[in-house]
Chains A and B, each alone.
Chain A
């Protein structure tokens, strides 16, 4: 069996691998928080990587993590759009989806359901946030994404991330005023 790959193909594949490998873990972490399921999160990452590979020629080489996370967000939206109610799995997802501020569609990056394993007071304060604010907080403070990377995941400008983050932190901070968290010994 002969290898039909050209030197260009080989270079392209090596470049792709070089870009993706350092970002696998962060992609998985973000995907898990969007889907709330390791299996779905892996599927989302794999589908995103296929799309990224096809789009590699249009990538300018700058900010690979933000580029991959943007593809992850679009892929997640497209995967949900593709689903059609009718299968048992879909109805289970719909029934178990927690409505957020009156919304009842399938979870998006912004209103992902999160399994909290935090100090109960912090857990309650984070859960009480508007999903848009919660996403900013989780992406930056839990996943350590930069403002630009969080903006890529949320599909909003960096300024919006900053303002949502600020409001999220203010609300959580004020909710925790009487807890050990504010004394820094949580």
Chain B
């Protein structure tokens, strides 16, 4: 009974940190202690490990969404040329 309750609390604690763990964003890094505790939990909890795996798969699928990621190099060139125009005309 106590073990189940402890497991539930750890799952809850982990669920609130999985996103930050996977993203490792500079604005919301986990402490080394939190990272170790979470990794230990993911190694033993099938359900939380599955959530982490699904999040990784989702990120992979969205990252591979080339239709949104690719920019026509001609667009980049045009903006570069525009920067030169700003240099020439000085809009201040």
Residues of A within 8 A of B (CB): 5, 9, 13, 16-17, 20-21, 24-25, 27-29, 32-33, 38, 41-42, 45-46, 49-50, 53-54, 114-119, 122, 137-138, 140-144, 146-148, 158, 162, 165-166, 169, 172-173, 176-177, 181-184, 186
Contact = CB atoms under 8 A, between A and B. Distances in A.
B57 to A, nearest CB: 4
A20 B83 contact: yes
Contacts, number: 118
Given A46-B79, A146-B27, A184-B60, 7 more contacts: A13-B86, A24-B80, A29-B71, A32-B68, A117-B65, A146-B26, A147-B28
B69 A115 contact: no
Interface stretch (B6-14, B33-41, B48-56): B48-56
Contacts of B28: 147, 158, 162
A54 B83 CA distance: 13
A8 B79 CA distance: 24
Interface of B: 19-20, 23, 25-28, 51, 53-63, 65-69, 71-72, 75-76, 78-80, 82-83, 86-87, 90-92
B34 to A, nearest CB: 15
Contacts of A17: 83, 87
B87 A158 contact: no
Given A28-B75, A33-B68, A165 B61 contact: no
User: Which 3 residue pairs are nearest across A and B when measured between Cβ atoms?
Assistant: A117-B67, A141-B62, A184-B57
Nearest to B70: A29
A13 to B, nearest CB: 5
Contacts of B59: 141
A46 B82 contact: yes
If over half of B's interface residues share one DSSP class (helix, strand or loop), that class is named, otherwise mixed; here it is: helix
A54 B92 CA distance: 6
Contacts of A28: 71, 75-76, 79
A146 B25 contact: yes
Contacts of A172: 58
A25 B76 contact: yes
A169 to B, nearest CB: 6
A143 B69 contact: yes
B57 A169 contact: no
A137 B55 CA distance: 12
Give the one of B55, B72, B75, B78 with max A CB within 10 A: B75
